[in-house]
Structure 1
Amino acid sequence: MKTDPERFILANTSLMAPPHVSEVWLRLASEVHDLWLKTEDELQEIGLPPPFWAFAWAGGQGLARYLMDHRETVAGKRVLDFASGSGLVAIAAKLAGAGSVVAADIDPWAETAIRLNAEANGVAIEFTGRNLIGEALETDVVLAGDVFYDSGFAVALIPWFDRLAGEGVEVLVGDPGRSYLPKERLTALASYRVPVTRALEDSEIKNTTVWRFTPQ
């Protein structure tokens, strides 16, 4: 039987507002482990990455909050939300007045999750499933929440972000202190105490910072 991502997402999530960004509504799961197992069972594939699209992660919540509070950051601009997941940051950017927003994520189910979430908020979000790392972009702002959790990923992202920032693209990162965050390349813009799901993090509150990437 062909898997129907929309049916699965609607059956295993509930429409709710993330605690730190009450203006946005998302289809979110309440329990990470059960959903992860259900996803593997649905796709008949073991060893899948976590369903990032089903949760409002700390860095994304912080970055979305920053955009809602500092709308001039994206107002009228072309925005790319990299590793978009649920689309939280992309939706916040659009609500904050961005001229256009593209959500990028290589998870094949993220496209459906982002479409459902965008519809719930009455906004239009474009989507790409391409791996954009290293590509030149026609955009004004790149948003990236919770991307420095893996060493290999960080090694690929840093030179790309460096090049984009050097070309005049504003690269903003939301991060609660992930292991591979390159703090020496970042300028702090705002900090928040973000409520999160303990099943996802090591505490119920994560101190989360929004950073601007600084080119060398």
Structure 2
Amino acid sequence: MAYLEDELIAPDFAGPDRLRLVQTPLVPEVLLHLAEDAVVWWARMEAELGTVLTAPFWATAWPGGQALARYLLDHPQTVAGKRVLDVASGSGLVAIAAGLAGAGTVTANDVDQYALAAITLNARANGVAVTACPGDLLDGDGGDADVVLAGDAFYSEAIAHRMWPFLRRAAARGAQVLVGDPGRGHLPADQLTTVTSYPAAVTDAPVEPQISRISVLQPR
């Protein structure tokens, strides 16, 4: 994993269209290594590494993740002292916010090896302990996690088809489940209750202009 972390922050990847350590728009308390343009960064990285990579979802601070992270920092009692699992963690934004809010342990799960490297780098940049967990956990129920978090995890029908049953199983065994979402079409909104919502950050508008508010929700 260390060699992947080195690749992400190597000087060759530090130009104006490369990763930069920046504040997250809705959660300025959190610093993330992000790409100014993830698609351009993705193409350049594939060319320079000479290999095909999965889409770098971890190189963007997704709106749903920002809302969920904001909620955790504003309501630290949600995770304080608890075992937290962040699924489809991407950059690790939500997991890092849970750590900053005082979670007892934080596990950030993703299937992308570069996301796991980014999570490790970003957690280190924010001075929090986050365990990066590889593999697909969606056939389970979140194990022993007291709180299960999913930030912007309903971006496709295929992912939603597996994510929602996973979250329902986690809730059924007693975990607190929170979802951050900007109103994507695959979200089962009729089975969720809105906890709070935030206006979308101005910086999200050029990428997803249809998003005006971002919600934090929980299963009914």
Conserved? CA contact 2:193–2:217, under 8 Å: yes
Match of 2:108 among 103, 120, 123: 103
CA distance in 2, matches of 1:118, 1:42: 26
CA distance in 2, matches of 1:70, 1:125: 19
Match of 2:208 among 184, 190, 201: 201
Tell me the equivalent position of 2:138.
133
Cα distance change on mapping 1:153 and 1:202 into 2, 3 Å: same
Tell me the equivalent position of 2:7.
8
Of 32-41 and 174-183, more deviation after overlay is shown by 32-41
Conserved? CA contact 1:61–1:194, under 8 Å: no
How far 1:167 sits from its partner (Å)? Answer: 0.9
2:95 aligned with 1:90 = yes
Match of 1:117 among 117, 122, 126: 122
2:31 aligned with 1:25 = yes
TM normalised by structure 2 equals 0.89
Q: State the SS of the aligned residue for 2:200.
A: strand
Conserved? CA contact 2:63–2:204, under 8 Å: no
* CA RMSD after TM alignment: 1.7
In structure 2, list runs of 5 or more residues that go unmatched.
none
Residues 163-199 of structure 1 show CA distances to partners (whole Å, capped at 9, x for unaligned) of: 1111111110000011200011101001001214455
> Counterpart amino acid of 2:37?
E
Match of 1:164 among 124, 145, 170: 170
Conserved? CA contact 1:32–1:200, under 8 Å: no
% of aligned pairs identical? 49
Tell me the equivalent position of 2:59.
54
Matches within 5 A, 1:29-48: 29-46=35-52, 48=53
> Counterpart amino acid of 1:142?
V
Cα distance change on mapping 1:49 and 1:72 into 2, 3 Å: same
How far 1:31 sits from its partner (Å)? Answer: 1.2
Tell me the equivalent position of 1:149.
155
2:211 aligned with 1:211 = no
